[in-house]
A and B are shown apart, each in its own frame.
Chain A
Amino acid sequence: MASKNKRLLWLQSGGCGGCTLSLLNTEAPSLFTALADIGIELIWHPSFAEQSLDEAMHLLQRLADGSEPLDMLCLEGSVMTGAAGRFHLLPDGQSMSTLIEQLARRASQVIAVGTCAAYGGISAAGDNLTGAVGLDYAGNHPGGLLGGHFHTASGLPVVNISGCPTHPGWVLETLALLASDSLSAADLDPLGRPRFYADKLVHHGCDKNEFYEFKASATAPGQMGCLMEHVGCKGTQAHADCNSRSWNGEGSCLTGGYPCINCTAPDFADPGHGFFSTPQVAGFPVGLPTDMPKAWFVALSTLSKSATPTRVRQNAVLDRLTVPPSLPKKGKA
């Protein structure tokens, strides 16, 4: 059995390490047990491996030159391509981007963990003076370190587990599918994200859904109402299942009282407006649900606003649910 284990190398470059730390939140079983259970041998990880210094460098070199086989490569963090790679150097003076490219061309499966590694993410925000890019994308466009349209010898494109941070379940389930060779290109969306979580919207299962239906909106973070109209929530456009699978036992951005900032999208860090406000045109939010005709949205929201129950309207701007739903009238239940 042991010989069938897939050998996984995890590298970090222009990121914050938060995707790893999020993965460490894995509950029942905890991370290393879970990896062993799905048949993965973590041959090196910058946070967890025993080997440091020369022995680590020699291992990376053997993997890069092909003298040791590599099944899976996970990259966390963007690739720093600016200034001829000087924004991330290895101890021998080689640029990290060169090593990442060599390893990506050796591995049978290449996985970008987090929005940074997939598209550039937060490290590529603003004027991106470090030339931060993703493995096979630069922002929304194919490109990046590997040029776009990259495929491994096994025929798979880079698997982009986007998210900033990634949910531990997204990473572990993707790795489990890959370890059993049961993830194909058809299981990825047009941005290379695993469809098992990226075909859902953050809006699905949000506990503010009733407020959304009645357009009963919060005016500031921390209020009960829907955060779409005024507080910048992008849950109706954001591809992820955050409100149907919980974070850290029972959380999501929305249960925490603050807006979804669409962190699985390539360009989330440069929204073109404040993260806590919703740009509006003629009193209606810009950036409506992607597949809803605008005229319908306007008509429905005007109608639903006129039908908003008092309970919902009042709770929307309070910091806790205060007005309870009424009981069914006697004899009619």
Chain B
Amino acid sequence: MSRRILGPFNRVEGDLNITLDFADGKVSAARVTAPLFRGFERILLGREPLDALAIVPRICGICSVSQSVAAAHALSQLYGITPPANGQRVLNLIHAVENIADHLSHFYLFFMPDFARADYQQHGWHGETLARFKAQSGSAVAPMLEARAILMRFMGSLAGHWPHTLCLQPGGVTKVVSAAERVRLQQWLRSFRRFLEQRTFGQPLEAIAALDGQAALEHYRAQTPAADFAHFLHIADSLQLQQLGRSYDHFIAAAAYAGPDGPWSPAGLWQQGLSQPLPQEQISEDNHSSWLAGDGPSAPLHTDTVPLPDKAEGYSWSKAPRVAGLAAETGALARGLLRGEPLLNEMVASAGGNVLSRVVARLTEVARIVPLMEHWLAALELEQPFQQPCPASAVHNSAVGLTEAARGMLGHWVTLDAGRISRYQIIAPTTWNFSPRDSKELPGPLEKALEGVDASDPQALQVQHIVRSFDPCQVCTTH
């Protein structure tokens, strides 16, 4: 057996190292290390509950709003208030902007540049990929950043700025939208839609959302070869990316984008083609392999965060979250499966969660969310309130705020004592996906997905594709 330590990984948000053991030239075991710890669960202790709104966004620069949404949900419960419909719509808009911008940054800046590397020179598609997706200088990069910046004006207008807004409050949002602002926002969204339809997809968003199976996806690729998404599908076919990075095929998601008729994307646990409601009370954190006190599974509402940098069994600052004892994968693919989308269900039925299906789930979600945003904007009742007043003190002492970041389920478990935060536990999407082994030695989803992979080339490119297919956010992972 031989061993190889890979790191530092870049084009992942935050820091990541991976230790691989090999047998017969293939990975026999992988250990994923989150090497940076800041201690936000401790920084929050003793503060007034609303102060969480200023602290938690700073856990992460890329899913800052998601952190605020999880905190605001928990605070709504603690203070016993519900945002009015307009407050929910603006929250959805702000959250959707962050999630879509993350999907695009991931595709264009973090994921695609790997296929532009000289290692793929022998492939017919490489010249085009190099021209378009080379890190920083590819011709697709600047137009995407310009379109993204226009989309991010939503944040200036509705949230003050991004990242790290304080506009999301337990009772709604601090910004009221006027008729003139709405037409401005609509104009920016149209220009963003144009970019997606011209460059990313080469077709109307509705046509992408209507792709209902692998045959339709194949047809789209043949019809629209110049589009960035189709170009990726071509590479995926050539490199057989659907055979890369399969994990347990247990998928978990929280509800995303609340509305009067329930959330757009439901909470749940998906296994072997079947969805069940999210068993929230069966979520646990296991610190066996973490440089943290504690060993076996423990409920987040009852866990404390005590760093032990010298712990012998430890190899990561990440905890190992489990649901009903399972290591589960979370992200756009999990959301799509729980929404029952035919294309994603068919892809997972044939080859499971893998590098291809994760990326297809992410990009098709972009095509679905922009029309939703148009709907939320149009539905704003401009004369109505956007926020409810928040009472002077909390009426409950514990709450759980769950939401979906671009990269999956995010949860905040909050406990108050005498009006102050006495415990605040966070489980982020990549804590699920990149968790270390638990006390039963069960590997985390990425650890599982890396088993059997050929990682003999100097850059271990297959490992890099698998890692990035999860769109990891390591600063959230350990917080």
Could you tell me the distance in whole angstroms from the C-beta of A81 to the nearest C-beta in chain B? 13
Q: Give the chain B neighbours of A164 by CB distance below 8 A.
A: 58, 164
Does A53 lie within 8 Å of B6, measured CB to CB?
A: yes
Q: Which residues of A contact B178 (CB under 8 A)?
A: 320
Rounded to whole Å, the gap between the CB of B12 and the closest CB of chain A is 8
With A47-B11, A221-B166: A91-B145 Cβ-Cβ less than 8 Å: no
Interface code A17-59, partner B: CB below 8 Å = 1, 0 otherwise? 1111110111111111100000000101111111111111100
- Tell me the nearest residue of chain B to A18, going by C-beta: B61
**B290 interface residue per 8 A CB criterion:** no
| Among B228-236, B254-262, B352-360, B381-389, the stretch in contact with A | B381-389
Residue of A nearest to B386 (CB): A319
How many chain-A residues does the 8 Å CB contact rule pick out? 81
- Verify if A222 is at the interface (C-beta below 8 Å from B): yes
Contact between B142 and A32, CB atoms less than 8 A apart? yes
Q: How far is the CB of A164 from chain B (nearest CB, A)?
A: 7
- Contacts A53-B7, A90-B7, A247-B160; A25 near B152 (Cβ below 8 A): yes
CB distance from B137 to the nearest CB of A (A): 7
A residues less than 8 Å from B156 (CB atoms): 246-251
Q: Min CB distance, A236 to chain B, in Å?
A: 18
Of A121-129, A291-299, A301-309, the segment with at least 4 beta carbons within 8 Å of chain B is A121-129
Q: Is B29 an interface residue (CB 8 A)?
A: no
Establish whether residues A248 and B162, one from each chain, have CB atoms under 8 Å apart when the complex forms: yes
A24 to B145, CA, bound (A): 8
Q: Is A130 an interface residue (CB 8 A)?
A: yes
B-side contacts of A19, CB under 8 Å: 61
- Residue from A20, A44, A250, A276 within 8 A of B153 (CB atoms): A250
Residues A56 and B8 in contact, CB atoms below 8 Å apart: yes
Are A256 and B167 in contact, CB atoms less than 8 angstroms apart? yes
Given contacts A90-B7, A91-B7, A251-B160, contact A21 B35 (CB under 8 A): no
Is the Cβ of B113 less than 8 Å from the Cβ of A91? no
Which residue of A15, A29, A220, A275 is within 8 Å of B54 (Cβ)?
A275
Contact A27 B167 (CB under 8 A): no
Flag if A247 contacts B161 (CB, 8 Å): yes
Report the separation of the CA atoms of residues A254 and B7 in the bound assembly, to the nearest whole angstrom: 42
Asked if B324 CB lies within 8 Å of chain A CBs, one says no
**B window 167-203: CB within 8 A of A:** 167, 169, 172-176, 178
Contact of A20 among B39, B61, B167 (CB under 8 A): B61
* A246-283 to B contact mask, C-beta < 8 Å, 1/0: 11111111111111010100000100001110000000
Closest chain A CB from B428 CB (angstroms): 12
In the complex, which of the residues B53, B61, B385 contacts A21, with contact meaning CB atoms closer than 8 Å? B61
The reply to whether B39 and A55 contact each other, CB–CB distance below 8 Å, is no
For A319, the chain B residues whose CB sits under 8 A away are: 176, 385-387
Q: Is A132 an interface residue (CB 8 A)?
A: yes
The distance in angstroms between the C-alpha atoms of A30 and B152, with both chains bound, is 13
Please tell me if A6 contacts chain B, counting CB pairs below 8 Å. Answer: no
CB-based contact B61/A251 at 8 Å: no
Complex contact B58–A127 (CB within 8 A) = no
Task: Output the least CB separation between A320 and chain B (Å).
Answer: 5
**Contact (Cβ within 8 A) A16 B10:** no
Q: How far is the CB of B72 from chain A (nearest CB, A)?
A: 12
Q: How far is the CA of A89 from the CA of B309 in the complex (A)?
A: 11
Q: Which of B8, B54, B60, B172 contacts A90 (CB 8 A)?
A: B8
A-chain residues with CB within 8 Å of residue B163 when the two chains form the complex: 16, 18, 21-22, 165
B167 near A89 with CB under 8 A, answer no
Selected from A45, A48, A87, the residue in CB contact (under 8 A) with B309 is: A87
A89 and B459 within 8 A (CB): no
B50 at the interface (CB under 8 A from A): yes
- Once the chains are docked, how many angstroms separate the CA of A90 from the CA of B5? 11
Chain A hits for B241, CB < 8 A? none
Chain B residues near A132: list those with CB within 8 A.
Answer: 38
Smallest beta-carbon distance A13→chain B, Å: 7
Inside 8 A of B146's CB, which chain A residues have their CB? Answer: 27-28, 30
A252 contacts across to B, CB distance below 8 A: 160-161
Complex Cα distance, B156 from A164, in Å, reads 16
Contact, CB under 8 Å: A248 / B155 = yes
CB-CB contacts of A45-77 with B at 8 A, as 1s and 0s?
A: 111111111111100000000000000000000
Further contacts, 15 of them, CB under 8 A, given A51-B10, A88-B15, A165-B161: A17-B62, A21-B162, A22-B61, A27-B149, A49-B135, A87-B309, A91-B7, A126-B42, A129-B39, A222-B387, A248-B152, A249-B152, A253-B160, A261-B166, A269-B55
Q: Which residues of B contact A (CB under 8 A)?
A: 5-11, 13-15, 17, 35-39, 42-48, 50-51, 53-55, 58-62, 64, 105, 109-110, 113, 116-117, 134-137, 141-142, 145-146, 148-150, 152-167, 169, 172-176, 178, 291, 307, 309-310, 317, 385-387, 389-390, 458-460, 464, 475
A interface with B by C-beta (< 8 Å): 12-22, 24-33, 42, 44-57, 80, 83, 86-92, 96, 122-123, 125-127, 129-130, 132, 164-165, 220-222, 246-259, 261, 263, 269, 274-276, 319-320
Q: Can you report 6 residue pairs joining A to B where beta carbons are below 8 Å apart?
A: A47-B13, A52-B459, A86-B291, A164-B58, A222-B172, A253-B160
